[in-house]
Each structure stands twice: as structure tokens, then as C-alpha cells.
């Protein structure tokens, strides 16, 4: 996407009041999330070694920010893209019981991002992971977890309205679940992003399931790394994919707005299959992958929830730079300033 300047944009909070609101939203939401999913907060790394296999490869083309430290023997160290694999390893290290898990503040630098209303060089999200029973690796359990997260989101929206009555709630009561293959059939002739826009405009909030595998048109709805989300296993309805994205309709930008990417995690069988499908079989020798393939990691579900994105959405801001401090092209800053969009 390119920069969107809404017509007659109304900035509903001054910058100093926005800072207060950001903290209230973050405190409220993470308390709701941890209570709903039985999560405890843990500390997390900002960087990992390149040979650990722990960094998130995202779509496989994004360059991690890296450096070499003389104190570590000049091994390559990478700023994390996310903590998708690290979290699952910690579930095992802490011997967490099924139904319990952890969350953490994940901070990342994504140097290759195209900067616009939603995308920044700086990424901040709650990364969370919950240990589950092997029998809970189903679409039904995935949907139950999504509903809990969505309820926490609506609770935060209600809190914002109580603090600032002029910021009216807009999220629907329920989230619509739809498989990416169903989405393709429902909105033929559209791109994946256009299908998401159409679905969010129609339902208000949707969870698009099954992201990473090829659809009947030979294309993927979107990319997924092969070694954390399970996007190749059939669910109880015979649909491929036990993962997905939680999207809502953003009334300020008038578009689909992704809040969370999440899913049931791969078991050894799915890991082998997805590494082969992705042409990444060499990863099986990396420490994390070996541990998983040897059955030494618990069954799990997990995901990431954007912190700045959540604040931007609930405070009805037009640009993520209104709720986080980052760097933006001069022309983008000028265009935003002219429209009353105050970037921090």
C-alpha cells in the first residue's frame, strides 16, 4: 500500500494525551490477554545468533539487521524479526503445563519494510505462546482462542470509550471465520488484499484461516515461514491450514487492518512436510528444528499482536507514526503534517 490521507481527518487526541492513552491501552489489553489465555510475562531477547535457527524468516526475502560482536568471537548476530520459534522453546525450558503459556514484549527492526500508514521500520508486538494437548491441534480450538483474543480487543475498545467518550466503539460483537479458499471463491477476480478489504467491509472483523499453502488458483493468500505455523495440515472440515490472520475494518483508513497473525504450531510431521514444500530442508539440522523433530518441544499455539497497531486502531489514528516514534521519509512527514496527522 502507499500513503493514505483520509479526507477531513479528525485527530481525536492531542499528542500528550495520546501518550497517556497508549499506556492505558497496553496495560489493559495485556492484562486481559494474559488472563484469558493463562499467560505469564517473560523477558525476551532482542537478538539471536544467525546459526541458532531461532529468527523468524517471515516471507524468506526480508534481510535481518545483523552485526558481529568481537566479544562473541565475531559470530553473526541478528535482530529478531519475531520470536515465533524462541517462545516455543521456552515453553519446553519452563516445562509449562498444557493450557498455560507466556507472553513478552517483542521489539524488532525490519529494514526492508515499505513505509506507509501501517508499516514502520520499528515493530513492537506482544508475542505469546501457549502449551496445548496434541488433541487440541484443531481448527475448532484455533477459533476458540481467536475469540478470546477478540474479546480482549473489544474490552480495550470499551475502556478507551469510557476514558474518551468522543471516541466511539466500532468493532462488531463477533468475528467471522472464513478460510482463504472460501475467500477466493466468494470474491473472484480480486487480489488477496482486495478480498480481505471486501470481507472486512462486509463483516467488520474476520479471521482468514489457512495462510501459507497454495490455493486452487496456484497462488498463496500470503506468505508464511515453514517452521512455526501449521499451514499444511487438514482441519476437521478438510480444509488446509491451522493458522490465520485476525483482521478488522478500519473506519479511518477504510480498509482491512491486520491486528494479529497466529496459529497452531507445526508438529514434527508438519515441519518435515513444510520444509520440503518450501525448499528449506537444510533447516532440519538447526538446533531449534532438531529439537522439534526429535519430539522435545510441546504442542503449542501462538502468535503476535501489534502493540502500536492496536493503539492506532482503538484511538482511531490515521498513521502508526502517531502512536510510535520512528523514522519516515521527509515527503511522508510533510504530507501528514499538511493533513493534521502529527507523527511522533
**Given its phi and psi angles, is residue 53 left (phi above 0), alpha (psi -120 to 50 degrees) or beta?**
left
Q: How far is CA 191 from the centre of its chain?
A: 21
- Catalytic residue chosen out of the listed positions 136, 180, 261, 316: 261
The closest alpha carbon to 51, from 299, 336, 283, 313, belongs to: 283
19 is catalytic: no
- Catalytic residue chosen out of the listed positions 258, 272, 273, 326: 258
DSSP lists the bridge partners of residue 245 as 208, 261
261 is catalytic: yes
Contact between residue 12 and residue 170 where contact means Cβ atoms under 8 Å apart:
no
Distance between CA atoms of residues 263 and 333, nearest Å? 36
125 is catalytic: yes
209 is catalytic: no
- Catalytic residue chosen out of the listed positions 110, 137, 224, 309: 110
- Catalytic residue chosen out of the listed positions 229, 245, 267, 322: 245
110 is catalytic: yes
Q: What's the 3-state SS for the chain? A: CCCCCCCCCCCCCCHHHHHHHHHHHHHHHHHHHHHHHCEEECCCCCEEEHHHCCCCCCCCCCCCCEEECHHHCCCEEEECCCCHHHHHHHHHHCCCCCCCEEEEEEEEECCCCCCCCCCCCEEEEEEEEEECCHHHCCHHHHHHHHHHHHHHHHHHHHHHHHHCCCCCCCCCCCCEEEEHHHHHHHCCCCCHHHHHHHHHHHHCEEEEECCCCECCCCCECCCCCCCCECCCCECCCCCECCEEEEEEEECCCCEEEEEEEEEEECCHHHHHHHHHHCCCHHHHHCHHHHHHHCCCCCCEEEEEEEHHHHHHHHCCCCCHHHCCCCCCCHHHHHHHHHCCCCCC
- Catalytic residue chosen out of the listed positions 78, 125, 260, 307: 125
Catalytic residues, by residue number, are 56, 110, 125, 245, 258, 261
Amino acid at each position: 500500500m502507499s500513503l493514505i490521507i483520509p479526507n477531513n481527518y479528525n485527530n481525536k487526541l492531542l499528542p500528550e494525551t495520546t501518550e497517556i492513552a497508549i499506556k492505558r491501552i497496553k496495560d489493559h489489553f495485556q492484562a486481559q490477554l494474559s488472563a484469558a489465555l493463562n499467560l505469564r510475562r517473560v523477558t525476551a531477547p532482542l537478538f539471536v545468533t544467525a546459526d541458532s535457527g531461532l529468527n523468524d524468516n517471515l516471507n524468506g526475502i526480508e534481510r535481518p539487521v545483523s552485526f558481529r560482536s568481537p566479544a562473541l568471537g565475531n559470530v553473526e548476530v541478528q535482530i529478531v524479526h519475531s520470536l515465533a520459534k524462541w517462545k516455543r522453546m521456552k515453553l519446553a525450558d519452563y516445562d509449562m503445563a498444557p493450557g498455560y503459556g507466556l507472553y513478552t514484549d517483542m521489539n524488532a527492526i525490519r529494514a526492508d519494510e515499505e513505509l506507509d500508514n501501517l508499516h514502520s521500520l520499528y515493530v513492537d508486538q506482544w508475542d505469546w505462546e501457549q502449551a496445548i494437548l496434541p488433541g487440541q491441534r484443531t481448527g475448532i480450538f484455533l477459533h476458540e482462542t481467536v475469540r478470546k483474543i477478540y474479546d480482549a480487543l473489544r474490552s480495550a475498545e470499551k475502556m478507551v470509550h469510557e476514558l474518551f467518550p468522543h471516541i466511539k466503539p466500532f468493532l462488531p460483537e463477533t468475528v467471522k471465520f472464513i478460510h482463504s479458499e472460501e475467500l477466493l471463491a466468494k470474491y473472484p477476480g480480486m487480489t488477496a488484499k482486495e478480498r480481505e478489504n471486501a470481507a472486512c467491509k462486509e463483516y467488520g472483523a474476520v479471521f482468514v484461516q489457512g495462510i501459507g499453502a497454495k490455493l486452487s488458483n496456484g497462488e498463496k493468500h500470503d506468505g508464511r515461514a515453514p517452521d512455526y505455523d501449521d499451514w499444511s495440515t487438514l482441519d476437521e472440515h478438510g480444509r488446509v491450514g491451522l493458522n490465520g490472520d485476525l483482521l478488522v475494518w478500519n473506519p479511518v483508513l477504510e480498509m482491512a487492518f491486520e491486528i494479529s497473525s497466529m496459529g497452531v504450531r507445526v508438529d514434527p510431521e508438519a515441519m518435515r512436510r513444510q520444509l520440503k514444500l518450501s525448499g528449506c530442508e537444510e533447516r532440519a539440522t538447526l538446533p531449534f528444528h532438531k529439537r522439534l523433530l526429535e519430539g522435545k518441544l510441546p504442542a503449542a499455539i501462538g502468535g503476535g499482536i501489534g502493540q502500536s497497531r492496536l493503539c492506532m486502531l482503538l484511538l482511531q489514528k490515521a498513521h502508526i507514526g502517531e502512536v510510535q516514534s520512528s523514522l519516515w521519509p521527509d515527503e511522508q512527514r510533510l504530507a501528514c503534517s499538511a493533513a493534521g496527522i502529527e507523527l511522533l
